[in-house]
Amino acid sequence: MLMRSASTVASTVGSAVAVSGVMSFFACFAAALLLSSECLVIPVAGVSREALRDTYDEARSGGRPHDAIDILAPRGTPVLAAVDGTIRKLFTSKPGGLTIYEFDESGTFVYYYAHLDRYASIREGDRVHCGDVIGYVGTTGNAAANTPHLHFAVEKLPATKEWWKGVAVNPYPLLRSRAVTLERSVSVPMP
Ligand SMILES: [Zn+2]
């Protein structure tokens, strides 16, 4: 899985170099990050940077801030680890439904994936690599049943590293500027 993910990322970066000289700076930047194992993947398979929408500042019910972006995709689309890291917590909450909290390698940021239809075969404590399938898009929690999407948040962890105490940062500019798209042609077994 690791090698396959890495080669897919590398070929994506390579084609970006070929397609556009303007993009080459960003592609080289992405490649350098890959080499330092700080790759960044759009966390829903097959979604391009251009398809992302910045919904970070949209209000939610009760005046809550969104503090995340929603990535729409058909139910069952693979959800991918955005970065290398560790599955810190699998948690079910009323608003988020089935959720994953992934710490990055340094424990600086926590990556939060919510409304999952189901988990992939992962357990708390597992090391994952960017691009690994960790779950599937769904509508658990307070997501509308007819609008499957991944609710994706990035939070800076406090020094004490509690997974639920991060301070949100907007993941949109980061994903939009340099995240790579991974295609997943695997057929998704429906429950
Ligand atoms: Zn959301």
Q: How far is the CA of 95 from the centre of ligand 1 (A)?
A: 10
* pLDDT in the model for residue 25: 47
What does DSSP say about strands 78-80 and 127-128: parallel, antiparallel, or unpaired? unpaired
* DSSP H or E stretch at residue 24: helix 21-35
pLDDT digits (tens, 9 = 90+) for 93-152: 999 999 999 999 999 999 999 999 999 999 999 999 999 999 999 999 999 999 999 999
In whole angstroms, give the CA distance from residue 109 to residue 28. Answer: 24
What does DSSP say about strands 109-119 and 127-128: parallel, antiparallel, or unpaired? unpaired
Q: How far is the CA of 116 from the centre of ligand 1 (A)?
A: 12
In whole angstroms, give the CA distance from residue 53 to residue 95. Answer: 21
Q: Is 149 a catalytic residue?
A: yes
**Comparison of pLDDT for 17 and 190, the residue scoring more:** 190
Q: pLDDT averaged over the chain?
A: 84
- Name the catalytic one among 66, 115, 129, 149: 149
Q: How far is the CA of 98 from the centre of ligand 1 (A)?
A: 13
pLDDT digits (tens, 9 = 90+) for 147-168: 999 999 999 999 999 999 999 9
Q: How far is the CA of 70 from the centre of ligand 1 (A)?
A: 5
Q: How far is the CA of 69 from the centre of ligand 1 (A)?
A: 6
Tokens (6 digits) for 20: 């556009």
* DSSP H or E stretch at residue 18: helix 2-19
Q: How far is the CA of 174 from the centre of ligand 1 (A)?
A: 17
